[in-house]
Structure 1
């Protein structure tokens, strides 16, 4: 069985479905604010983790890490805010006077619970929240609108990315099959345990198709000859 912990704000449902369809491995999943912490605690084998662009000091050379995609920064505003009505990318200058309830720190380490708490204040029509946009999309309620946030030329927002992280000592087929699926491999190209024909089996199948085709041609040829023979005999009787 593969025990996988995925970071809040990620939506890996399609990977879970494909993993169950393409392999015979059992899969147990759990949503976590800090997916890597579950691997460190031994309650998960694989983490779909949010990692600061500068790196996570907990990920040392005893771990494997596969970077999957980058997260763009976003901003959450009250639904009645003029920016929410415009629905466009927000420039930092447009919210320079707003109360900031939460902002991604310079370390890039996102405190998901702090984001939740800050969004409750935004829902009360007070201030804004700056966090990874995928996280804001998942956590925002009806009273909050998540939007794209442009970088300030002098102070760009710290970046985060999503990666698969696991201990090297735990590496194996069960984990590698999921890594392959997350990286876009299909049943024909991924390292799944689906049975595939060997080169010899493929060769024998090809020969069988050829033999069948030849037999079919011979059968047709005999029928044609018989028809011709009968036709010639009728002509002689006349």
Structure 2
């Protein structure tokens, strides 16, 4: 036997911006003998890793190929624009895409939004990663539109962000190959959905011997007597009548003299 067969584990991929610590903690409490191994991957790499079988499940950004993957949407993030702290946009509590029409907006190669190009003026070139784009925002090259979790992940003291009310949004989901829905995957789905340790995981529970005995011990309900039965037994539930000869006719009483 190989080492992986002797010591099974659950491999969980997650994209930047997702914090799986809460679910990992619950897993370790419920399944201490099965280690959970984390793999951080880019949003573009997540589907490839799951498809190749290098992870059992993953926290990904939608959309995914629903002909191959199952997915449970968990939450949708707010979208923000990252700006220098002294930028004029910081005077507003929230902004719209129209407010960015004359701004240079950076479009990194790992952008998680499904648009051909962000609004505003395009930058001279596309940065390789969101982290590189944040550095360019700090250098005054342009602004950056990202999910709020990525703005927090790449936080800098000289930068801030404002909600962008009419921009696309990104949804985080738990996803796994549909044909590889193992018991461990079901266990993790239960944890993510908040099921208790005693709740079922969607699989039919086996009947216990006590349940089987209890089912056999139940008394049968008495059957209602049919018309034929009543003819033989009398009234339903009453004693059986015996057939006897007809009583003799009584004569007239004699007159006393």
Classify the TM-score, shorter chain.
0.5 to 0.7
2:88 corresponds to 1:82: yes
Contact kept? 1:70, 1:161, Cα under 8 Å: yes
2:152 corresponds to 1:137: yes
Match of 2:103 among 89, 98, 102: 98
Gaps of 5+ in 2: 1-8, 118-125, 202-207, 212-257
Residue 185 (structure 1) shift: 1.9
Residue 135 (structure 1) shift: 1.9
TM-score of the two chains, using structure 1 as the length reference: 0.67
Kindly tell me: are residues 130 and 190 of structure 1, through their superposed partners in 2, closer, same or farther at Cα, counting changes over 3 Å? Answer: farther
2:54 corresponds to 1:33: no
Residue 120 (structure 1) shift: 1.0
Larger relative contact order (CA 8 Å, sep ≥ 6): 1
The CA deviation string for residues 66-105 of structure 1, in whole angstroms up to 9 with x for no partner, is 1111122211111222333x47222333333211112734
Aligned partner of residue 88 in structure 1, secondary structure: coil
Partner of 2:54: 43
Structure 1: distance between partners of 2:92 and 2:209: 56
Partner of 2:18: 10
The CA deviation string for residues 23-47 of structure 1, in whole angstroms up to 9 with x for no partner, is 2332000111132222123221111
Partner of 2:236: none
Contact kept? 2:77, 2:149, Cα under 8 Å: yes
TM-score of the two chains, using structure 2 as the length reference: 0.62
Contact kept? 1:33, 1:112, Cα under 8 Å: no
2:133 corresponds to 1:118: yes
Aligned partner of residue 48 in structure 1, secondary structure: strand
Gaps of 5+ in 1: 152-156, 192-197, 202-238
Structure 2: distance between partners of 1:132 and 1:158: 9
Structure 2 counterparts to residues 46-65 of structure 1, below 5 A: 46-51=57-62, 55-56=63-64, 59-65=65-71
Structure 1: distance between partners of 2:143 and 2:209: 61
Partner of 1:212: none
Aligned pair count reads: 183
Structure 2: distance between partners of 1:77 and 1:127: 8
Contact kept? 2:106, 2:127, Cα under 8 Å: no
Contact kept? 1:177, 1:190, Cα under 8 Å: no
Kindly tell me: are residues 199 and 125 of structure 1, through their superposed partners in 2, closer, same or farther at Cα, counting changes over 3 Å? Answer: farther
Residue 5 (structure 1) shift: 0.5
Contact kept? 1:100, 1:128, Cα under 8 Å: yes
Mark the structure with the bigger radius of gyration: 2
Structure with the higher fraction of residues in helix conformation: 1
Contact kept? 2:127, 2:133, Cα under 8 Å: no
